[in-house]
Amino acid sequence: MISTSSYTQPSSTNQWLLVLWLGGGASGIGYYFWNHGATQVRVETLATMNNLVIPLGLFIEVLFFSGTYNYQTFVIGSVIIISSIIASLRFDNN
């Protein structure tokens, strides 16, 4: 259940501009380029690129928000995903 008891609306112009940018600007541009790119590659490559979102999110968290995680599993998972992308591109049947 979603509770609205702790919900507050943005109170300043800067906060509203940030909400508009995150909702329409960054998300809209990101979805546009993702969908445009999805039409340019095979479905196998697209699926493996989608799995790259998790390691990239962890990398951004550590880079900008000083998060911590297990580097060994991060590197192993990233290598597996990148290897899958390379294999998908190399063995293109087109």
Domain boundaries, the chain: 10-40, 42-94
* Cα 82–chain centre separation: 15
Q: How far are the Cα atoms of 19, 44, 53 from residue 24, in angstroms, in the given order?
A: 8, 29, 20
Given this model, what pLDDT does residue 32 score? 92
pLDDT class for 92, splitting at 50, 70, 90? low
Q: Pick the residue with more confidence: 23 or 4?
A: 23
Q: Which one-letter amino acid corresponds to residue 52?
A: L
pTM for the predicted model, two decimal places? 0.53
Neighbours of 62 (CB within 10 A): 14
Q: How far apart are CA 94 and CA 90, in angstroms?
A: 11
Helices (H) and strands (E) in the chain, counts: 5, 0
